[in-house]
């Protein structure tokens, strides 16, 4: 919200001063400001397809995949982690608790939850499970939860599942990908209510920890008042400039390649090469790790003769394609953002259109490189291109399609 307001005010100032500068230029007068550099922007699809000319060992650490427990590349989040452990202590002392961990897509919720296994410790076990699909009704929810939580017999009722869970040893149950619960399909409300009822009914026995994307969480809060049921709500954000610098240095170091840098002086070579461009990288990526990695690896280069590491200015991505979209396409993008992902059937149910129309819309957005298909899903599921999700979400929010 603050970013939107800041952008709005700077844009107002820019719009008001533009005619003044234009008039000055018309009369051959120079304005105080230097002339704007020509903007070079990269096409979204070409940028995705481009392969940086760097050794594989250097690219590998920049993978945007979630970090497993104990991975040394995980940085920061100390405050949030301490808060979570404090709630855990209260729960152990007898206060019934449920915790929601939310944040924008790609901020590292999965990595954060996966680090818990190391930090929770005895006497409870930490069980990390991921929702892999959307539950559509009560029976579906019972079957899904039963399978995830190791119930061997299929549960036919809510009470049966609650009894099963209350018989288990106390544990911390972290459920990731809860954006699957924010569903706008007729009938799915029952599924969400059953899911919530199971958690609320067993919170004395187990500490439930939900990982959910920001917009999905907002919807759950607007419609079901979800925030009222959670004693703690931990919000993760993107990295600030210092954290992003630490993250990038960490990733470069973990490549294990001995890197030499020209004009590094007494400074650490990796820090030296990044320092010159860190501010730009942060500005372009808004601190979103995967987008920052994307810009970083496309800007890094190794001189073929000297073998020295260097970095060129990052080329901004061209998101002007968003301005060409029609309202039905913007609505589709907004629902994809809020749902996390949509299959063709989901899209058809949300917008009440036939499969050909759903396919037409989704494939068009796919070929504009605004959404991609999740390869791990059983049926084609479309989601925002991970690197671009923040820019797209902010655009949709500004255009009043996502809230």
Taking the C-alpha atoms of residue 58 and residue 53, their distance in angstroms, rounded to an integer, is: 10
Q: How far is the CB of 395 from another protein (least distance, A)?
A: 10
Length of the chain: 403
User: Alpha-carbon distance 190 to 263, whole Å?
Assistant: 63
244 in Cβ contact with 287 (< 8 Å): yes
Among 331, 363, 366, 368, the residue binding another protein under the rule CB under 8 A is 331
Only one residue has tokens 């009222």, namely 228
The answer to whether residue 403 forms part of the interface with another protein (CB under 8 A) is: yes
326 lies in the site for another protein, by CB under 8 A: no
400 near another protein, judged by CB under 8 A: yes
Q: Does 319 bind another protein (CB under 8 A)?
A: no
Angle between the N-to-C axes of helices 278-285 and 241-253, in degrees from 0 to 180, rounded to the nearest 10: 110
Residues with Cβ within 8 Å of 224's Cβ and at least 6 positions away in sequence, in order, are: 192, 193, 196
The residue among 167, 159, 161, 171 whose CA lies nearest residue 208 is: 171
Could you tell me if 105 and 152 are in contact, meaning their C-beta atoms sit under 8 angstroms apart? no
Residues linked to residue 172 through DSSP beta bridges, in sequence order: 126, 207
Nearer to another protein, 290 or 346 (CB): 346
Give whichever of 368 and 397 is closer to another protein, judged by the CB atom: 397
- Contact (CB, 8 A) for 350 and 357: no
Q: Give the tokens for residue 165.
A: 């869970």
Instruction: Tell me: does residue 15 bind another protein (CB under 8 A).
Output: yes
Q: Nearest approach, Cβ of 402 to another protein (angstroms)?
A: 10
Q: Which CB sits closer to another protein, 128 or 331?
A: 331
H-assigned helices in 99-187: 109-114, 116-120, 138-148, 158-167
Q: Is 320 in the site for another protein (CB under 8 A)?
A: no
Could you give the CA distance from residue 78 to residue 174 in angstroms, rounded to a whole number?
Answer: 18
State the nearest-atom distance from the C-beta of 317 to another protein, in Å: 18
Site string for another protein, 183-202 (x = CB under 8 A): -xxxx-x-------------
Per-residue mark of binding to another protein, 373-392 (x: CB under 8 A): --------------------
User: Residues touching another protein: how many (CB under 8 A)?
Assistant: 29
Give the Cα separation of 3 and 375 in Å (integer): 33
Q: Looking at 178, 290, 329, 335, which residue binds another protein (CB under 8 A)?
A: 335
What is the nearest approach in angstroms of another protein to the Cβ of residue 286?
A: 17
Output 200 or 399, the one with its CB closest to another protein: 399
Minimum Å gap between C-beta 211 and another protein is: 21
Which one of residues 352, 375, 376, 378 is an interface residue with another protein (CB under 8 A)? 352
Residues near another protein (CB under 8 A) are 8, 11-12, 15-16, 18-19, 184-187, 189, 219, 222-223, 323, 327, 331, 334-335, 350-352, 397-401, 403
């Amino acid at each position: 919200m603050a970013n939107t307001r800041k952008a709005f005010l700077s844009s107002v100032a820019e719009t008001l001063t533009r005619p003044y500068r234009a008039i000055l230029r018309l009369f051959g007068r120079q304005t105080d400001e230097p002339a704007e550099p020509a903007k070079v922007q990269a096409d979204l699809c070409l940028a995705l397809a481009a392969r940086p000319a760097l050794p594989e060992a250097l690219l590998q650490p920049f993978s945007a995949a979630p970090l497993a427990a104990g991975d040394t590349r995980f940085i920061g989040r100390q405050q949030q982690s301490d808060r979570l452990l404090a709630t855990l202590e209260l729960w152990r002392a007898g206060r019934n608790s449920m915790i929601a961990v939310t944040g924008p897509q790609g901020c590292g919720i999965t990595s954060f939850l996966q680090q818990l296994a190391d930090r929770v410790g005895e006497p409870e076990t930490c069980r990390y499970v991921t929702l892999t699909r959307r539950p559509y009704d009560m029976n579906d929810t019972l079957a899904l939860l039963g399978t995830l939580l190791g119930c061997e017999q299929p549960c036919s009722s809510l009470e049966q599942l609650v009894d099963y869970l209350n018989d288990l040893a106390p544990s911390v149950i972290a459920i990731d990908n809860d954006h699957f619960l924010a569903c706008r399909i007729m009938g799915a409300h029952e599924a969400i209510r059953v899911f919530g009822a199971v958690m609320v009914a067993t919170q004395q026995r187990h500490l439930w920890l939900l990982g959910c994307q920001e917009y999905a969480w907002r919807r759950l809060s607007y419609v079901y008042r979800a925030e009222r049921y959670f004693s703690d709500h931990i919000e993760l954000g993107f990295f600030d400039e210092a954290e992003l610098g630490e993250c990038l240095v960490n990733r470069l170091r973990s490549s294990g390649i001995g890197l030499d840098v020209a004009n590094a002086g007494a400074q650490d070579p990796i820090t030296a090469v990044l320092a010159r461009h860190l501010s730009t990288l942060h500005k372009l990526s808004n601190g979103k790790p995967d987008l920052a990695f994307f810009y970083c690896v496309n800007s890094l280069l190794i001189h073929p003769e000297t073998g020295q590491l260097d970095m060129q200015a990052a080329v901004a991505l061209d998101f002007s394609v968003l301005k060409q979209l029609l309202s039905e396409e913007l609505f589709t993008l907004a629902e994809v953002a809020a749902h996390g992902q949509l299959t063709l059937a989901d899209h058809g149910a949300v917008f009440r259109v036939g499969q050909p129309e759903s396919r037409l819309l989704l494939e068009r957005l796919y070929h504009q490189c605004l959404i991609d298909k999740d390869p791990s899903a059983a049926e084609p599921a479309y989601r925002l291109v991970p690197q671009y999700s923040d820019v797209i979400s902010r655009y949709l929010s500004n255009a009043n399609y996502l809230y």
